[in-house]
Amino acid sequence: MLIVLTSERELESEADKINSLFDNGLEILHFRKPTMNIEGYRTLLNQIDAKYHNRIMLHQFHELCEEFKLRGIHIQEQPRLDLEEKLEEYSSSYKAKGYKVSSSFHSKEDIKSCPVTFKYVLLSPVFSSISKAGYAGKGFDVTDLNEFVIGMGGINENTLQATFDLGFKGVGVLGGIWNTEDSLESFKMIYNKLKTIQTT
């Protein structure tokens, strides 16, 4: 599984770039814009081809999921912790409507102790981050986990095999796409390399 997270920054012709990724095989896009308000979210979603809306997971403004008939919601780490005992109820309310629910983690222990089962979880940083300076990789080995774990942090075509060797079932890419000269070409390199990876 290959997931791309949107750049935290607003990019020029961003919807066109996102549509191009989908046109070239992107399975799932995680829509994450920490500084953007709900109207900014609506504007960008309206510019993304509607036929791809069912491949988009929302990090904020989860209520837009129904409005745009999106794939589902992603519960980031702090919001997950803030929900406390309401986490099960909150995630179940979306699952009951057929939406996928995922979440972010930064330790294996937290994944093991979380009472809620997610469609998949993002665990980071596997390798030193491309998009966040000083965010050193931890080289998590997740072969002992039963959850569907997606590796993030320092993911590009050169680290794909090592990620799967550590037991990850998929990869999430951010800096490996958006911090490059050509986001589409970078995506294609990762996408094509992924087809050759030996997974366990």
- pLDDT per residue as tens digits for the range 17-57: 999 999 999 999 999 999 999 999 999 999 999 999 999 99
Coil, strand or helix at 135: coil
Coil, strand or helix at 52: helix
In a domain, 150, yes or no: yes
CATH number at residue 180: 3.20.20.70
d(Cα 141, Cα 90) in Å, to the nearest integer? 30
Contacts of 59 (CB under 8 A, 6+ apart): 30, 31, 32, 33, 74, 76
In a domain, 199, yes or no: no
Q: What is the extent of the structural domain holding 176?
A: 2-194
Q: Are 165 and 141 in contact (CB under 8 A)?
A: no
pLDDT tens digits, one per residue of 122-170: 999 999 876 666 667 889 999 999 999 999 999 988 899 999 999 999 9
Coil, strand or helix at 69: coil
In a domain, 49, yes or no: yes
In a domain, 200, yes or no: no
In a domain, 99, yes or no: yes
Domain count, the chain: 1
In a domain, 72, yes or no: yes
pLDDT tens digits, one per residue of 119-131: 999 999 999 876 6
